[in-house]
Amino acid sequence: MSNPTEKIALVTGANRGIGLETARQLGRQGVTVIVAARDQGKAQQAAGTLQAEGISAVGLKLDVTSTADIQAAARFIEEQFGRLDILINNAGIFAEKQFGGNNSTSVTQAELRRTFDTNFFAVIELTQALLPLLGRSRAGRIVNLSSILGSLTLHAMPNSPIADARNLAYNASKTALNAFTIHLAGALKDTNIRVNSAHPGWVKTAMGGEEAPMEIADGAKTSVALALAADAPNGSFTHLGEPLPW
């Protein structure tokens, strides 16, 4: 079992990009980080990279779309740590053929289902499986990695600033994820757990592309702040401390 004064965090999709950097920034704050990835080797490699930087990290195979993996992860955390303080639902995919434009008339059922399986349904299943462990934390934190592209308010504006990025599968999955954030926050409002959605920004990752204006280190800051804040909000949608419209 872990020291009751140290925080334990699970970051999904943590073998690269924003997930790895989120784990790194949490680790630098003294958090023990469970680095989760679909591939065991990649999870172990990422954990090893962080360990070499002096961070307490452990690799974990976790395909978030696998019920067996989710159940195994819950057992692992129970046996190794006895509780979970922070859950960063970072894993996500973009399954559509190209980014940008409006594909509402052409998006396929396969793209929709694959996207929702990872970006929405998997998040709910994993979170529900880990709630008993989060309930043992003195200050449980759940951070759902959303996107400003899930904002219905911004998309509905006559001169929407995000009108050129209407990929229905991805955007709708993030809108649905935001709904989960609001609903779960309400369900847990009388507990020590806080639930929030984070927009990392447009970041230079495999998904964001090299033309993105933000560096990976900055893309992790919103999640880390929500995870570590003693006075964290509950049921918010934010970017770098600023509220975003639903």
pLDDT tens-digit map of 125-145: 999 999 999 999 999 999 999
Residue 148 DSSP code = G
Q: Which structural domain, as residue segments, surrounds residue 156?
A: 8-243
pTM to 2 decimal places: 0.95
Residue 23, SS3?
helix
User: Active-site residue 174, yes or no?
Assistant: yes
pLDDT in tens, 163-211: 999 999 999 999 999 999 999 999 999 999 999 999 998 765 555 556 6
Q: How many CA atoms lie within 13 A of 19 on its CB side?
A: 27
The answer to whether position 220 is within a domain reads yes
- Would you say residue 104 has pLDDT above 70? yes
The answer to whether position 1 is within a domain reads no
Residue 13, SS3?
coil
The answer to whether position 3 is within a domain reads no
Marked catalytic residue, from 7, 61, 174, 221? 174
The answer to whether position 2 is within a domain reads no
CATH (domain of 168): 3.40.50.720
The answer to whether position 27 is within a domain reads yes
pLDDT in tens, 40-79: 999 999 999 999 999 999 999 999 999 999 999 999 999 9
Marked catalytic residue, from 7, 61, 170, 221? 170
The answer to whether position 212 is within a domain reads yes
User: Active-site residue 42, yes or no?
Assistant: no
State the total domains in the chain. Answer: 1
> Which region holds residue 104: left if phi is over 0, alpha if psi is between -120 and 50, else beta?
alpha
The answer to whether position 185 is within a domain reads yes
